[in-house]
Amino acid sequence: MSEDESPPLDLRPEPPCSSSSAVDSTPNKSRNCISSSTASQTFPDHVLENVLENVLQFLDSRCDRNAASLVCKLWWKVEALTRSEVFIGNCYALSPARLTQRFKRVKSLVLKGKPRFADFNLMPPDWGANFAPWVSTMAKAYPWLEKVDLKRIFVTDDDLALVAESFPGFKELILVCCEGFGTSGIAIVANKCRKLKVLDLIESEVTDDEVDWISCFPEDVTCLESLAFDCVEAPINFKALEGLVGRSPFLKKLRLNRFVSLEELHRLLLGAPQLTSLGTGSFSHDNEAHHQSEQEPDYAAAFLACKSVVCLSGFRELMPEYLPAIFPVCANLTSLNFSYANISPDMFKPIIHKCHKLQVFWALDSICDEGLQAVAATCKELRELRIFPFDPREDSEGPVSELGLQAISEGCRKLESILYFCQRMTNAAVIAMSENCPELTVFRLCIMGRHRPDHVTGKPMDEGFGAIVKNCKKLTRLAVSGLLTDQAFRYMGEYGKLIRTLSVAFAGDSDMALRHVLEGCPRLQKLEIRDSPFGDVALRSGMHRYYNMRFVWMSACSLSKGCCKDVARAMPNLVVEVIGSDDDDDNRDYVETLYMYRSLDGPRKDAPKFPLLREKAPCISDRSCSEVEQAWVCLQYQRRYSSLEPLRGGTGGVKAISNYGLVLEGMRRAKARGFSDVSH
Amino acid sequence: MEGCSRNGEICPKLLNLIPQGRRNWLQDDKTSVYSTEEKKLELKLGPPGGEEDEDGTSILRRIKRESKDKSILCLAGNHFSPSSTTNKTTSHKRTAPGPVVGWPPVRSFRKNLVNGSASKLGNESTSKNQKCDDESGRGKTMEPKREGGMFVKINMYGVPIGRKVDLSAHNSYEQLSFTVDKLFRGLLAAQRESSSFGEEEKPITGLLDGNGEYTLTYEDNEGDKMLVGDVPWHMFVSSVKRLRVIKSSEISSALTYGNGKQEKMRS
């Protein structure tokens, strides 16, 4: 994003056709501006601007738009006027004010917050990524806002209420991996957003406020096209849902939660044959209802009536004996998600053998290598495969292995994306996949046991991953695991020309590994590393490129605070967030987690106050040992150093980095008051 | 998370590694640490020397790292990262003593929900630890903790949307009654828009004495439904779990019927 420069105010008369703002911020040699210019002098610029506006409005790709905006000031201005969907990959890369200052006509916002490792408890709760400042700013600036798509953002019920109140034309709300809100917030959106087309709650934590939010939808015909609430862990009013579906003629996508039984699903399907995407809810029957009814509903007939269903998911509490009911739709399916269904190969095979058109398939490893072989035999159009572990522990049995991977690579040549959890793997199978599947763009292999080598040869998994980066020329996302030496990273750095996202865990031998990656991989944007022996030397080796990356995450590595300080000092537009242990002594230099990202607006003001986290361990009585206090520090070095601001600590444990020279005295004073360190 | 619950079990054994006398190192060393810290404050214009291991600290570092594993929400509190500063080449030879936070990288809701389907089909035996996952995974659910506030839910008959009220900000039943009126008066009026013309908002009165159209009830920590106002305020606050405003005419029936969620939802 280019920096804003404050433009000169141009008092040229308002061009008749364009609806741009009165302040024209384009400096131009032919318009020197304060006095009013003649029409002939400005006419060509009006035309140019209008032409540009009419052309640029067709640009959809944000990369194209970003490029166009760099041509010149006029193009920058017109592009800003015509951009209606804004994508912000890191909510802390800029402030909401900057968004609204630059883009005046935004109808759709895609916003991402926490880094992915936050999903695995590697980040303190209350870390941030709050929607509140965004929604309050947009409420004033974009009353015409239609769509909000949030990922890993903390959204409160109040935020949702503000959305519902501020945007009369609001159409789409998509919340992926979000939290902080409950069914009461959803109820407000359902009730007040009369033009709502899409309400998708995907893998989000939704608190059960015991509100019948389904009944809050308006009574008349709705515009709903997509309603996904499979992650909502709360019972729903089925009768109201049935009514809602009945009066939503445009509804195509419906994802039910596990509180909807098979009987209820049956009733819904009979009333909504136009559905194209269905999340089946529990797929088990409600015991009471089952015993009462004499005859079981004909589930297969209901599915048969749904000729348009191409995407099937759910099966949250699957009763496998009812699975054959879905046979009628299998032949049409392009997407099948069995990742909550613990089914054996024998139950699985009859189904998959019918799914010839399948392109996206998610499942649990309970289908075993045998099931994967069946997939390989049938699903020749497969593009995306995800196999999740039924028992996600390091030492679990692991029913899938290199055999399944090999089979898939041989059968599904068009494969583009794979996520595969397993307990054992061989280089040979990975190499085979690299050779058989040239279209791979996403390769994520998770060998669950840490540092596991090739279980046949005993060698590290270097050659396998090396082959992936060498042979899969379109690879943009890579996640590695198993026993890996620096050699694997040498391959990545050298051959990973298009890699944008790299996830590393428990891998590598030395700083050289990370250096290979930072000195290679020209397109690297997102780097997440945990529990790997990479230290300061490696971190410094990447300083030439951190401004070109969205973020870097390194936790449980070998970084020191001093080095992080140096990086922060050298790169003023980089926000360096550091967590260290709170204890004062020898450990004070250890960096537990480093999360750094470029930002146009400096370190955030909403960094959590500490003590961030205070957990009393049940087995320890000694208070000083038992309280784990995380100190949270945001570093940003300005060229000029501002005054000190002591950070209040809990039981005397405040970790911070500061500029020693000027603040020594201040630090002494603060120390005398009980702070262990101060920062600015 | 699985790792954390297991760490909870393992902890006592690990602590035995710390000799008794050294368990209070945090307190004991404070003065000496203070002076070393002051030394560190002295200007060093060269590159930071934080990585240098001081003698005898590597053990402490490792022990301290282990102490982190106790917390359920600890960050990547695993057992072998500290040695990485000293043993860069032997990382792959470390044997994992126990599970680790956030590994394997499977989101908690995937772990929890798998439990449900396992009971229906005996394909693979459910691991005992899954139950713990349930709790720690759910425990992670962040209802934003407001410091000092004692918020309880309050629902009102005829109003589909509930509110929350901070009992710690109230001192008496009168105050509470006033707040209820404030919270629901507008909402109730909005619900009645269709029936009565004009936007008259009737105040909600008589919540405590049985004289008004509505009565305030609550559910206590034993699950029983009670009329608000019988016990001293502080006793009420200590036992109340949620509030409900019901129609006075429904008092006898509302208080005797169970509060099954399903019942309420299937009405």
Residues of B in contact with A392 (CB under 8 A): 2, 104, 106, 110-111
Q: How far apart are CA B212 and CA B180, in angstroms?
A: 13
Which pLDDT value is given to residue A15?
40
Residues of chain A with Cβ-Cβ distance to B194 below 8 Å are none
Distances from the Cα of B174 to the Cα of A332, B187, B226, angstroms: 63, 21, 17
Q: What is the pLDDT of residues A493-526, one digit of tens each?
A: 999 999 999 999 999 999 999 999 999 999 999 9
pLDDT at res. A409? 97
In this structure, the number of other CB atoms found within 10 A of the CB of residue B136 comes to 21
d(CA A81, CA A79): 5
Treating both helix axes as pointing N-terminal to C-terminal, what angle do A73-82 and A62-69 enclose, rounded to 10 degrees? Answer: 150
Digit-coded pLDDT (tens) for A56-114: 989 999 999 999 999 999 999 999 999 999 999 999 999 999 999 999 999 999 999 99
A419 contact partners, CB below 8 Å, separation of at least 6? A385, A386, A387, A388, A442, A444, A446, A479
Say how many CB pairs under 8 Å bridge A and B. Answer: 300
The helix/strand/coil state of A11 is coil
pLDDT in tens, A146-181: 999 999 999 999 999 999 999 999 999 999 999 999
Count, residues in chain A: 680
pLDDT at site A654: 36
**Percent of chain A at pLDDT exceeding 90:** 72
User: Which of the residue ranges A353-357, A633-637, B109-113 has the most confident prediction, judged by mean pLDDT?
Assistant: A353-357
Where is average pLDDT lowest: A532-536, A572-576, B9-13? Answer: B9-13
More reliable by pLDDT, A287 or A190: A190
Q: How far is B261 from chain A (nearest CA, A)?
A: 7
Specify the pairing of strand B240-247 against strand B214-220: antiparallel
Which residue among B41, B82, B161 sits closest to A667, beta carbon to beta carbon? B41
Alpha helix positions (H), A142-216: 157-166, 183-192
Helix, strand, or coil (residue B216): strand
The CB density around residue A643, as the number of other CB atoms within 10 Å, is 8
A215: tokens are 């009944």
pLDDT(A634) > 70 = no
Distance of residue A408 Cα from the nearest chain B Cα, in angstroms: 22
Give the span between the Cα atoms of A211 and A511, in whole angstroms.
Answer: 53
Judged by average pLDDT, the poorest of A320-334, A573-587, B234-248 is A573-587
| Residue A34 pLDDT greater than 50, yes or no | no
Closest CA to B243 of B201, B198, B184: B184
Q: A155 with A178: CB under 8 angstroms?
A: yes
CB A445 within 8 A of CB A423: no
pLDDT of residue B231: 87
| pLDDT average, residue stretch B199-205 | 73
Q: B59 touching A, CB under 8 A? A: no
- Considering only A122-136, A374-388, B96-110, which range has the smallest mean pLDDT? B96-110
Distance CA A33, CA A31 (A): 5
Query: Nearest Cβ partner of B24 from A125, A389, A622?
Result: A622
**Amino acid type, A179:** E
In this complex, which of A121, A187, A392 lies closest to B104 when CB atoms are compared?
A392
User: What's the mean per-residue pLDDT of chain B?
Assistant: 61
Give the per-residue pLDDT at B208: 85
High-pLDDT (> 70) share of chain B, %? 40
What's the pLDDT score for residue A667? 57
SS3 category, B25: helix
- Cβ <8 Å between A615 and B72: yes
pLDDT digit string, tens, across residues A428-470: 999 999 999 999 999 999 999 999 999 999 999 999 999 999 9
User: Is there a contact between A380 and A407 (Cβ–Cβ < 8 Å)?
Assistant: no
Cis before B144? omega within 30: no
- End-to-end CA distance of chain B: give it in Å, rounded: 37
- pLDDT average, residue stretch A265-277: 93
Q: Which residue has the higher pLDDT, A254 or A8?
A: A254
Average pLDDT over residues B244-257: 75
- Cβ contact B49:A562 at 8 Å: yes
DSSP-based three-state secondary structure for A629: coil
Of the two residues B75 and A478, the one the predictor is more confident about is A478
Predicted local confidence at residue A18, as pLDDT: 40
- For residue A364, the chain B residue with the least C-alpha distance is B114
Please check whether residue A420 is in contact with residue A480, taking contact to mean a CB–CB distance below 8 angstroms.
no
Rounded to a whole number, what is the distance in Å from the CA of A292 to chain B's nearest CA? Answer: 17
What chain B holds in terms of domains, given with CATH numbers, is 151-191+204-254 (3.10.20.90)
Question: What is the Cα–Cα distance from A152 to A404, expressed in whole angstroms?
Answer: 32
Q: What is the model's pLDDT at position A522?
A: 97
Going by the DSSP 8-state scheme, the letter that residue B141 receives in this structure is -
What is the least distance, in Å, from the CA of B16 to any CA of chain A? 12
Is A115 within 8 Å of chain B by CB?
no
Q: What is the pLDDT of residue B254?
A: 59
CB atoms within 10 A of CB A97: 12
- Please state the length of chain B: 267
Q: Are B5 and B129 in contact (CB under 8 A)?
A: yes
pLDDT band at residue A297, thresholds of 50, 70 and 90? confident
> Quick one: pLDDT band at residue A393, thresholds 50, 70, 90?
confident
Average pLDDT across chain A, whole number: 85
Q: Is A321 exposed, middle or buried (0-12, 13-18, 19+ CB in 10 A)?
A: exposed
Q: Which residue has the higher pLDDT, A651 or A143?
A: A143
A609 compared with A394, residue with greater pLDDT: A394
Q: Say whether B265 and A235 touch across the interface (CB within 8 A).
A: yes
User: pLDDT value at position A293?
Assistant: 60
* Residue A510, min C-alpha distance to chain B (Å): 6
Whether B199 shows a pLDDT value over 60: the answer reads: no
What tokens does A584 get?
């004062």
Task: Compute the nearest-CA separation of A655 from chain B (Å).
Answer: 12
Find out whether A222 and A249 touch, Cβ atoms under 8 Å: no
pLDDT above 90 (res A239) = yes
Give contacts of B 104-143 with A, CB under 8 A. 104-111, 113-114, 116-118, 120-121, 123-124, 127, 129, 140-143
pLDDT score, position B220: 85
pLDDT band of B108, cuts 50, 70, 90: confident
Q: Coil, strand or helix: which one is A588?
A: helix
CA atoms within a 13 Å half-sphere pointing along the CA-CB vector of A118: 21
pLDDT at residue A262 in the model: 92
CA distance A625 to chain B (A): 7
Chain B residues in contact with A315 (beta carbon < 8 A)? 117
Contact criterion met (CB < 8 Å) for A460 and B92: yes
Q: CA–CA separation, B97 vs A320, rounded Å?
A: 38
Span A363-383, mean pLDDT?
97
Residue of A nearest to B263 (CA): A237
Other Cβ atoms closer than 10 A to A42:
19
For the ranges A47-61, A402-416, B50-64, the one whose mean pLDDT is highest = A402-416
**Residues in chain A closer than 8 A to B123 (CB atoms):** 342-344, 366
- Tokens found for residue B217: 């009830």
pLDDT given at position A670 = 61
pLDDT greater than 80 at residue B140: no
Burial of A5 (0-12, 13-18, 19+ CB in 10 A): exposed
Q: In sequence order, what are the beta bridge partners of A311?
A: A277, A335
Residue A320 has pLDDT above 50, yes or no: yes
In Å, how far are A10, A28, A505, A590, B191 from B85, measured between CA atoms?
Answer: 59, 57, 17, 9, 65
Structure-block tokens of residue A177: 């991996």
- The C-alpha R_g of chain A, in whole angstroms, comes to 28
Residue scoring higher pLDDT (A499 or A633): A499
3-class state of residue A387 by DSSP: strand
C-alpha dist (Å) from residue B41 to A33, A382, A654, B25, B57: 55, 60, 15, 22, 19
- The model scores a pTM over 0.90: no
Paired tokens of A69: 């905006």
CB proximity A573 to B under 8 Å: no
Encoded tokens for A360? 């996206």
pLDDT reported for residue B148? 52
Residue-wise pLDDT tens digits, B13-68:
555 555 555 544 444 444 444 455 555 555 555 555 444 444 434 443 444 444 44
Q: Which of A180, A391, A535 sits opposite B142 (nearest CB)?
A: A180
Pairing of strands A108-112, A360-364: unpaired
Q: Taking 60 as the threshold, does the pLDDT of residue A626 lie above it?
A: no
Angle, vertex CA A39, rays to CA A36 and CA A40, nearest 5: 125
Which of A205, A212, A566 faces B160 most closely, judged by CB atoms? A212
Cβ–Cβ of A125/B120 closer than 8 Å?
no
The class of domain A45-83 in CATH terms is mainly alpha
End-to-end CA distance of chain A: 27
**B205–chain A nearest CA distance, Å:** 24
A525 vs B109: which has the higher pLDDT: A525
pLDDT of amino acid B97: 53
**CB atoms closer than 10 angstroms to residue B267:** 10
For the stretch A344-367, pLDDT in tens is: 999 999 999 999 999 999 999 999
pLDDT of residue B159: 85
Q: Which residue of B has its CA nearest to A503?
A: B105
Among candidates A137, A131, A127, A130, which has minimal Cα distance to A96? Answer: A137
Domain limits, chain A:
45-83, 85-211
Task: Quote the DSSP letter at residue A154.
Answer: B
Q: Give A200's strand partners.
A: A174, A228
The answer to whether the CB atoms of A620 and B15 lie below 8 A apart is yes
Is A319 close to B70, i.e. CB distance below 8 A?
no
The answer to whether the CB of A644 falls within 8 A of the CB of B98 is no
Mean pLDDT of A638-667: 41
Angle value at C-alpha A211, between A205 and A216, nearest 5 degrees: 105
Q: Which position has the higher pLDDT, A350 or B151? A: A350
Percent of chain A with pLDDT over 70: 81
What pLDDT, on the 0 to 100 scale, is given for residue A426?
A: 97
Q: Which residue has the higher pLDDT, B25 or B175?
A: B175
What is residue A350's predicted lDDT score, i.e. its pLDDT? Answer: 96
Q: Which of A583-597, B50-64, B102-116, B206-220 has the highest mean pLDDT?
A: B206-220
Q: Which amino acid is at A553?
A: W
Statement: residue B113 has pLDDT above 90: no
Nearest to B81 among A556, A628, A664 (CB): A556
